[in-house]
Chain A
Amino acid sequence: MAKITFAICEKSFLIRKGLASVIEKIPDTKIIQQIENAEELIVSANNCEADYLILNKKFTTDPKVKKVLSAFSGTTRFILLVNDNNNKVSGIYYDGIIDVNDTQNFILKKIKEITGKNAVIQKNVIPGEISKREADILKNIALGFSNKEIADKLFISVHTVVTHRKNITRKLGIKTVPGLTIYAIINKLIDIDKAE
């Protein structure tokens, strides 16, 4: 089974390390990246390879960070890290919230809930041919458009594009963009001359 990967974005070294050691107690998880400041976050956000990015809520008050995250076009999902009870963050789609004051067991439970929920959704997808809508998305991926561009073209949210992408990859068993492009050409979703 593939590992669930996490990136942690938090200024405090102690909290970062602490959270990493708690999460790694869950089997089949791995912390693949630790980010400590906003600049680094902006640089790595769009090519983040982790399944989940846990980020301190404070970063979202930085307008530049907010801009990057709200137009996010990768497949990573967000989890917020807070240290107060005021949890509202608008404009960014996130899957859950962890409070730094939570007990270890509570944090473990939350992480398992968040990752488990998505795992269940994944299981319910029937493998096989892709739907009409997914074919539209795939066509645009093969033509080289970003998630944001696809979202704008098809009048859907970036988050929906990301979900479609995950489902396409799971159904077809093809992970990379060049691989998806070949699939699209073979199945005549796009014209060979139009592909990059």
Chain B
Amino acid sequence: MLITKNIKMADVIHMNYFTLSALNRFGIELGFGDKSVEVVCKEYKVDPEFFLEIANTFVNKDYFPKKHLQTFSVKLITDYLQKTHHYYHKVKVPEIELLIENMVESCYTQKDNMVLLKKFFNDYKNELLNHTQREEEVVFPYTIAIENAFLNQNPDESILHMMETYSIDVFENEHDNIEEKLFDLKNIIIKYLPAPKDQRLCNKLLYELFNLEQDLNDHSRIEEKVLVPKIREMEKQIINNFTNR
């Protein structure tokens, strides 16, 4: 079932609690009583259309309105992606770190192995940080500059120089698979970490890892299927406009 703007925001969460993390990203706080999605979005100055599409992709795995998502502004899309980065670094990663730390603390029989896991995840954390930093410092500013030049009737020629040194194709090529190490970590815990270990903590940790992996997949899907084609189209238009001058 698709979420529409007239549904109560509370019902959205009842429908699928995964939407909680979407609310979190848009900065929407709980306690909205019986207000509809549209009303709550307006209160928080969130574009209701955009919120609905994102919330629906959270609820329904097969729902991905690529074309419609591409109609939203680059600013809106990159703002959302940036909020997602923030959510990883401030919420998800610390949660996982805490669980791993608990495992190290509570384990006496294989402390070495737990310390290894901790180091592995710490390296991963740095990799993720570099990955998102690169996007925020290089990729997103570039996409916004492209959008500005695209909307401007008479763009400055400097945009062409910018496009010579960087393009969305470069991003697509260098955009590495950040989920691979998470996959390995899951498998090590599921298949290879010897017993006895704290099953309860392991399960919690696995749940969080699956969750983060899924979220990262959704995140890169928006980058690769929405942002990249949208920018590529704009790049083409800009070049056309200059050649037709």
Which residues of B from 55 to 97 have beta carbons under 8 Å from A? none
A192 neighbours in B (Cβ, 8 Å) = 112, 116
Query: Which of A57-65, A89-97, A118-126, A183-191 interfaces with chain B?
Result: A183-191
Query: Which of B5-13, B101-109, B151-159, B179-187 interfaces with chain A?
Result: B179-187
Which residues of A from 162 to 196 have beta carbons under 8 Å from B? 172-176, 178-179, 182-183, 185-187, 192
Contact pick for B192, options A175, A176, A183, CB 8 Å: A183
Mask for A84-108, Cβ within 8 A of B = 1, else 0?
Answer: 0000000000000000000000000
A187 neighbours in B (Cβ, 8 Å) = 192
B187 neighbours in A (Cβ, 8 Å) = 172-174, 179
Nearest B residue to A180 by beta-carbon distance? B184
A173 neighbours in B (Cβ, 8 Å) = 183, 187, 191
Nearest A residue to B112 by beta-carbon distance? A192
Mask for B192-224, Cβ within 8 A of A = 1, else 0?
Answer: 111000000000000000000000000000000
Given A178-B123, A192-B112, A192-B116, CB of A186 within 8 Å of CB of B184: no
Contact in complex: A179, B113 (CB < 8 Å): no
In whole Å, how far is B130's beta carbon from the nearest beta carbon of chain A?
15
Contact in complex: A185, B116 (CB < 8 Å): yes
In whole Å, how far is A161's beta carbon from the nearest beta carbon of chain B?
20
Contact in complex: A32, B192 (CB < 8 Å): no
- Bound CA span A186–B116, Å: 9
Q: Does B18 contact A (CB under 8 A)?
A: no
Given A174-B187, A178-B120, CB of A186 within 8 Å of CB of B192: yes
Q: How large is the interface on B (under 10, 10 to 19, 20 to 34, 35 or more residues)?
A: 10 to 19
Q: Name the prevailing secondary structure of the B interface residues.
A: helix
Contact pick for A32, options B117, B123, B173, B191, CB 8 Å: B173
Q: Does A33 contact B (CB under 8 A)?
A: yes
B123 neighbours in A (Cβ, 8 Å) = 178
B180 neighbours in A (Cβ, 8 Å) = 175-176
Given A182-B117, A185-B116, CB of A176 within 8 Å of CB of B193: no
- Bound CA span A12–B24, Å: 50
Contact in complex: B116, A175 (CB < 8 Å): no
Q: Chain B residues in contact with chain A, CB under 8 A?
A: 112-113, 116-117, 120, 123, 173, 180-181, 183-185, 187-188, 191-194
Q: Give me the 8 closest cross-chain CB pairs, A-B, nearest first.
A: A179-B184, A173-B187, A174-B184, A176-B184, A182-B116, A176-B181, A175-B180, A186-B192
Q: Chain A residues in contact with chain B, CB under 8 A?
A: 32-33, 172-176, 178-179, 182-183, 185-187, 192
